[in-house]
């Protein structure tokens, strides 16, 4: 009887969801390291199932936020993360990047601390960044010569006034196709004289 009751409990939807959440949490790469460009493209891609399933985000202790920016998916964290020496409980994913939303009105402050290169600097918009890492490795298909890059960025955006978005963009690029070799020039040929023909004078 006890064995049957325990089996029924283990197969209940609530317990299955909790077990799935625990597995998701255990499998998720370190978020602080991801934001600080200390991980790789595969670690970033490991979060894609979380972005596609709100329940998996909740299992990680993330609360989905209303989309205030059409290019960003935002979450509030139950437990803040510390990135670049600052604490934040607000993160966002955009494209192939993840950022912490910091209560820092001027991104230039962090850009100077991290020695980032300025790409845009106007009264309205600041964007700075630098390549943290570029590694040549085998690609998803096993072929060599793929390039994995991680770029630290600090910027502001109109949808989040008075805040700085700081994080990392990851990419994995296939090698450039080799240029086809130019065909070798055909060797020069000399026409043979016709049999019995007159010889030139």
Q: What is the pLDDT of residue 106?
A: 97
The whole-angstrom separation of Cα 82 and Cα 88 is 6
pTM, 2 dp: 0.75
Residue entry with tokens 């630290």: 152
Phi, psi of 145 (to 5 degrees): 90, 5
Q: What is the pLDDT of residue 190?
A: 54
- DSSP structure string for 65-95: ---SSTT-EEEEEEEEEEETTEEEEEEEEET
Q: Which mean pLDDT values do the consecutive 10-residue runs of the chain (201 residues) have?
A: 32 36 60 97 95 94 94 96 97 96 97 97 96 91 92 97 97 81 59 51 50
The pair of structure tokens assigned to 159 is 């949808």
């Amino acid at each position: 009887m006890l064995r049957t009751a325990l089996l029924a409990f283990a197969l209940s939807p609530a317990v299955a969801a909790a077990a799935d959440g625990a597995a998701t949490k255990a499998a998720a790469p370190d978020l602080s390291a991801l934001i600080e460009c200390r991980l790789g493209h595969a670690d970033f891609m490991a979060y894609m199932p979380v972005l596609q399933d709100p329940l998996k985000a909740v299992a990680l202790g993330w609360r989905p936020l209303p989309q205030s920016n059409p290019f960003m998916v935002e979450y509030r964290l139950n437990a803040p993360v510390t990135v670049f020496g600052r604490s934040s409980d607000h993160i966002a994913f955009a494209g192939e990047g993840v950022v912490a939303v910091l209560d820092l009105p001027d991104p230039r402050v962090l850009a100077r601390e991290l020695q980032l290169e300025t790409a845009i600097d106007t009264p309205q918009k600041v964007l700075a960044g630098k390549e943290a890492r570029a590694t040549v490795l085998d690609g998803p298909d096993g072929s060599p010569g793929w390039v994995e890059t991680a770029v630290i960025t600090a910027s502001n955006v109109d949808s989040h006034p008075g805040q700085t978005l700081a994080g990392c963009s990851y990419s994995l690029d296939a090698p450039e196709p080799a240029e086809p070799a130019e065909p070798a020039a055909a060797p020069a040929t000399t026409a043979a004289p016709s049999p019995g023909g007159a010889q030139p004078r």
